[in-house]
């Protein structure tokens, strides 16, 4: 089962290694991991996507909490929440490819007519998958995407 | 007041109440060693290998209830310390290790004696710190001690670049440590405690199973005993928990697990309520998981939430310090005023007594035959009246010590349980001797294990420590040989030595008294000498039955009730 876990940590050196190290040492999976400082610059926020059975997910959450610089851990998978990731695709500018990308909701952020274009697309992980699938592989030069960031709906915030 | 980093180091240790540290100098810690030379607040014990510094600090911590402290240099000094860090962390022993680091500006340049100690020790410690500014040193030291000693204790590294030792700043002592990201829980949830007491009073076949948590929660051993007697429930201890209840207490059924007693393992396999108190369901304790305590509702008291339902699914978790939780339980018990099920418990004890009658630790010692290792342990118990501080190495001798010494009190049995570190015993005794120089201290060791830290005889002699090293010499890596005999059709691949040294001579060379023992008579005489008045350590090399095996034994992967008895 796929779980999206949000984490607040002290914004200090080495925290990311501690989290990554925990997953590798205990054989847990990380599908994606996003991290950036928050408005409060002493705190960083992570969104981590992992999968495993209930017992493993329970251990993952406890083990994360046990790391000294980890302030808070929340598994948002079971709550009403939103997830958004971002994707960039560089493709050959041929036929109506660019137009179709725009119609699908992408922004064209770079473009050299007849040569190539770069499309930027944001959305749920599924929407990103869908968009990527809609672009003909043959024309894709490269693509890169982030894992999702996420938060719960409602007025309550996940803050320190 | 302006102080150098090295002076701040000394001042902080003084304020933390440190009385003794174990260490080994080198380039990166010279500024700190210089400051140590000029102070008299704490003693520095010079070991002969950094691994031993950590084990000694561990031994000191276990018997004194204080935090162990060590100091080693950068690079190889710090890498030598890693086994000791992992060992203390596995056994939840508070141990702070200060490591020197190359000067700040040289970090990352592959400088002489540079090692990425933060990276290397990350998974061997509870936490680690690299101090990058002398202004942060005092707070970091404060946090290191706080983290090492609270919650589930463990090892903590503070890596200090050499130039911080010389750098100056205004010294400010942080009166408090308050870390928003680290707030260990101490008291148990009262609702859970109510439920637990209800379950305990309703149980027909209750069983208490206690571990190292009883050692870490000062004063909890007497609470455990009271609870056991009030519930009229049998108690078993893990290896780490021995001494949690006196060995001769009517309610004690011995150690459980791979080399546990028949009655302890059978009782766990048949109980209807298992209360784990500061123990973590280690695989050496549980045997095959799906057959572990199959009929039992399980209550688990642990200060570390990750221990709960990690290996065994728990019905009623209680997160908290076992000392506080046990007190809460006793209060709740008197508040509810209930009584246990007398009739059911009578039957339960009858059953347990039947299991006890198997005498699963029994062995035969003939007058002429070779000395049985079990005999040695029992004789040492007798001559020390069961009051000695006992350390062990790892192997058969360790299990025999656990089974046969008989501990009356907590903090008397020092053994490497989680990591199973050969080489632990002698340095741990060196550490213990710094806390209790006048108490009898015995190291039960093996011919293989002792050679992993034998250099510490020099330390024992330097500080004139009256340690008694009891070498159960079977001329084998006995435990390895036992497994090879049982599970690898007696192919004794590399488990014996053709060139054991003359240990008695070696001991003499190090300054102590060395005695070789072959017969029971010699054994009695040697023990008299060893526990008589001595200037320093005594090393008794005892030729024991070479092929004796440790029983009972639950083979790896078998269920607890599938013990091999002999
Ligand atoms: C550092 C380390 N290396 C290897 C082992 C594996 N090991 C466990 S017991 C043992 C043999 C110990 O032999 P000895 O010290 O003579 O004790 P005995 O079993 O004979 O009593 C070995 C090699 C270990 N526990 N620790
Ligand atoms: Mg041996």
Residue A21, pLDDT score: 96
- Is B297 catalytic? The answer is no
A113-131 residue pLDDT tens: 999 999 999 999 999 999 9
Using a 6 Å cutoff on CB, does residue B448 contact ligand 1? Answer: yes
What confidence score (pLDDT) does residue A120 get?
98
* Residue A20 located in a structural domain: yes
Q: Where does a domain end: A78, A99, A132?
A: A78
- Give how far Cα B263 sits from Cα of B207, B234, B312, B400, Å: 11, 10, 21, 17
Strands, sheet with B252-255, edge to edge from the N-terminal-most edge strand: B252-255, B235-237, B206-210, B273-277, B297-302, B316-319
CA distance A117 to A109: 8
**Which residue, A78, A112, A136, sits at the end of a domain?**
A78
Looking at residue A70, its pLDDT comes to 98
Token pair in block for residue B318: 């209680």
* pLDDT per residue as tens digits for the range A40-58: 999 999 999 999 999 999 9
**Closest C-alpha to ligand 1, atom 20:** B478
CB B8 within 8 A of CB B133: no
Q: Over range A62-74, report the average pLDDT.
A: 98
CA distance B238 to B322: 15
A63 and A110 housed in the same domain:
no
| Digit-coded pLDDT (tens) for B235-286 | 999 999 999 999 999 999 999 999 999 999 999 999 999 999 999 999 999 9
- The fraction of chain B above a pLDDT of 70, given in percent, is 100
Nearest residue of A to residue B305, measured between CA atoms = A62
With respect to residue A47, please indicate whether it lies within any of the assigned structural domains: yes
Average pLDDT over residues B304-318: 96
Are A18 and A49 part of one and the same domain? yes
Q: What is the DSSP string of A24-66?
A: HHTT---SEEEEEE-SSTTEEEEEEEEE--HHHHHHHHHHHHH
The torsion angle over the Cα atoms of residues B160, B164, B170 and B173, rounded to 10 degrees, is 10
Q: What is the mean pLDDT of chain B?
A: 97
Which is higher by pLDDT, B420 or B369? Answer: B420
Last residue in a domain, options A78, A96, A114: A78
Domains and CATH numbers, chain B: 2-170 (3.40.50.970), 190-356 (3.40.50.1220), 373-543 (3.40.50.970)
**Candidates B479, B482, B539, B551; catalytic one:** B479
**Is B392 near ligand 1, meaning CB less than 6 Å away?**
no
H/E stretch holding B177 reads none
Could you give the CA distance from residue B147 to residue A56 in angstroms, rounded to a whole number?
26
Instruction: Say whether pLDDT at B453 is over 90.
Output: yes
pLDDT value, residue A78 = 87
Same domain for A7 and A74, yes or no, is yes
Same domain? For A31 and A87 the reply is no
CA of B493 to the centre of ligand 1 (A): 14
How do residues B134-173 score in pLDDT, each as one tens digit? 999 999 999 999 999 999 999 999 999 999 999 999 999 9
Whether B551 and B525 have beta carbons less than 8 Å apart is answered as: no
- Over residues A8-19, mean pLDDT: 96
In chain B, what are the helix, strand and coil shares in percent, each to the nearest 5? 40, 20, 40
Phi, psi (degrees; rounded to nearest 5) at B26: 180, 175
pLDDT in tens, B386-425: 999 999 999 999 999 999 999 999 999 999 999 999 999 9
Amino acid B383: pLDDT: 98
**Residue A17 forms part of a structural domain:** yes
Mean of pLDDT values over B495-524 = 97
- A141 CB neighbour count, 10 Å cutoff: 11
Rounded average pLDDT over B425-453: 98
Which pLDDT band holds residue B369 (cuts at 50, 70, 90)?
Answer: confident
Q: Do residues A53 and A103 share a domain?
A: no
Give the pLDDT of residue A8: 98
Helix or strand run (H / E) with residue A122? strand A116-123
CATH code of the domain in which A142 resides: 3.30.70.1150
* A89 assigned to some structural domain: yes
Tell me, what's the ipTM?
0.93
User: Considering the entire predicted model, what is its pTM?
Assistant: 0.97
Q: Within this chain, do residues A70 and A47 fall inside the same structural domain, yes or no?
A: yes
CB contact under 8 A, A21 and B130: no
Under a CB-based contact definition with an 8 Å cutoff, are residues B244 and B540 in contact? no
User: Two tokens at B316?
Assistant: 């009623």
pLDDT for res B468: 98
Interface test with B, best of A44, A62, A65 (most B CBs within 10 A): A62
Q: Are strands A81-92 and A116-123 parallel, antiparallel or unpaired?
A: antiparallel
Ligand nearest to the CA of B482: 1
Specify which residues B342 forms β-bridges with: none
Tokens at residue B46, please? Answer: 């010079």
Residue B498 has pLDDT above 90, yes or no: no
- A157 within a domain of the structure (yes/no): no
Q: Please confirm, yes or no, whether B363 is among the known catalytic residues.
A: no
- What's the rounded Cα separation, in Å, for the pair B2 and A130? 63
- Let me know if residue A156 belongs to a domain: no
For residue range B11-30, what is the model confidence (pLDDT) as tens digits?
999 999 999 999 999 999 99
E strand map for B464-529: 467-473, 513-517
B204-224 pLDDT, tens digit per residue, is: 999 999 999 999 999 999 999
C-alpha span between B444 and B415 (Å, rounded): 10
Contacts of B270 (CB under 8 A, 6+ apart): B205, B295, B351, B561
pLDDT of B69 above 90? yes
We report the CATH number of the domain holding residue A41 as 3.30.70.260
Residue range(s) defining the domain that contains residue A13: 2-78
Beta strands, E only, B105-221 = 127-130, 155-161, 168-170, 206-210
Q: Is B143 an active-site residue?
A: no
pLDDT single digits (tens) B535-552: 999 999 999 999 999 999
Cis amide bond preceding B552, omega within 30: yes
- Helices B373-384 and B396-404, interaxial angle, to 10°? 50
Q: What is the pLDDT of residues B220-241, one digit of tens each?
A: 999 999 999 999 999 999 999 9
pLDDT computed for residue B14 by the predictor: 98
């Amino acid at each position: 089962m796929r779980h999206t876990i949000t984490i607040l940590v002290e914004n200090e050196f080495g925290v990311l290694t501690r989290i990554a190290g925990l997953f590798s040492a205990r054989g847990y999976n990380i599908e994606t991991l996003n991290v950036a400082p928050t408005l409060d610059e002493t705190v960083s926020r992570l969104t981590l996507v992992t999968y495993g059975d209930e017992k493993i997910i329970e251990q993952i959450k406890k083990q994360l909490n046990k790391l000294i610089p980890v302030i808070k851990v929340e598994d948002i998978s079971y709550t009403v929440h939103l997830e958004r990731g971002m994707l960039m695709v560089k493709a050959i500018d041929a036929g109506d490819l660019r137009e179709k990308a725009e119609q699908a909701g992408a922004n064209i952020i770079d473009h050299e007519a007849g040569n190539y274009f770069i499309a930027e697309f944001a959305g749920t992980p599924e929407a990103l998958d869908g968009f990527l699938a809609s672009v003909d592989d043959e024309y894709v030069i490269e693509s890169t995407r982030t894992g999702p960031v996420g938060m719960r709906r409602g007025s309550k915030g996940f803050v320190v | 007041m302006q102080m150098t980093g090295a002076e701040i180091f000394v001042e902080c240790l003084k304020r933390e109440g440190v009385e003794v540290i174990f260490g080994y100098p080198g380039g990166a810690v010279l500024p700190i060693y210089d400051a140590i030379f000029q102070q008299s607040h704490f003693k520095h014990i010079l070991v002969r290998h950094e691994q031993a510094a950590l084990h000694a600090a561990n031994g000191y911590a276990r018997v004194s209830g204080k935090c162990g402290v060590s100091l080693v240099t950068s690079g190889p000094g710090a890498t030598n310390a890693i086994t000791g860090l992992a060992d203390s962390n596995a056994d939840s022993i508070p141990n702070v290790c200060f490591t020197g680091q190359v000067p700040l500006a040289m970090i990352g340049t592959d400088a002489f004696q540079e090692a990425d100690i933060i990276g290397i020790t990350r998974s061997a410690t509870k936490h680690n710190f690299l101090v990058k500014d002398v202004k942060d040193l005092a707070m970091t030291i404060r946090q290191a001690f706080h983290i090492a000693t609270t919650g589930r204790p463990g090892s903590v590294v503070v890596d200090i670049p050499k130039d911080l030792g010389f750098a100056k700043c205004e010294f400010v002592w942080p009166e408090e440590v308050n870390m928003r990201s680290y707030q260990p829980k101490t008291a148990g949830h009262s609702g859970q405690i109510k439920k637990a007491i209800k379950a305990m009073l309703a149980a027909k076949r209750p069983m208490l199973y206690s571990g190292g948590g009883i050692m870490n929660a000062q004063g909890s051993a007497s609470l455990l005993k009271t609870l056991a007697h009030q519930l009229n429930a049998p108690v078993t201890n893990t290896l780490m928990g021995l001494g949690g209840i006196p060995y001769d207490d009517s309610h004690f059924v011995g150690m459980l697990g791979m080399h546990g007693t028949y009655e302890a393992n059978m009782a766990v396999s048949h109980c209807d309520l298992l209360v784990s108190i500061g123990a973590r369901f280690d695989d050496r304790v549980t045997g095959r998981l799906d057959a572990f305590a199959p009929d039992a509702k399980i209550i688990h008291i642990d200060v570390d939430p990750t221990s709960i339902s990690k290996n065994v699914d728990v019905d009623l978790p209680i997160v908290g310090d076992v000392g506080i939780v046990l007190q809460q339980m006793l209060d709740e018990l008197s508040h509810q005023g209930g009584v246990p099920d007398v009739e059911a418990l009578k039957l339960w004890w009858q059953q347990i007594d039947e299991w006890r009658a198997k005498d699963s630790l029994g062995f035969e010692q003939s007058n002429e035959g070779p000395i049985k290792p079990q005999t040695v342990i029992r004789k040492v118990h007798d001559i020390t009246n069961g009051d000695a501080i006992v350390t062990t190495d790892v192997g058969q001798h360790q299990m025999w010590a656990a089974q046969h010494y008989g501990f009356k009190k907590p903090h008397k049995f020092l053994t490497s349980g989680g990591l199973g570190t050969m080489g632990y015993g002698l340095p741990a005794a060196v550490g213990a001797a710094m806390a209790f120089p006048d108490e009898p201290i015995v190291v039960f060791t093996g011919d293989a294990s002792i050679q992993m830290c034998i250099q510490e005889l020099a330390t024992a002699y330097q500080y004139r420590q009256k340690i008694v090293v009891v070498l159960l010499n079977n001329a084998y890596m006995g435990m390895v040989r036992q497994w090879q005999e049982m599970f690898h059709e007696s192919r004794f691949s590399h488990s014996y030595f053709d060139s054991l040294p003359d240990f008695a001579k070696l001991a003499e060379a190090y300054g102590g008294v060395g005695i070789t023992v072959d017969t029971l008579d010699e054994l009695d005489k040697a023990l008299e000498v060893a526990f008589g008045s001595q200037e320093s350590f005594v090393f008794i090399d005892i030729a024991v039955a070479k092929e004796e095996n440790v029983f009972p034994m639950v083979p790896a992967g078998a269920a607890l009730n599938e013990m091999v008895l002999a």
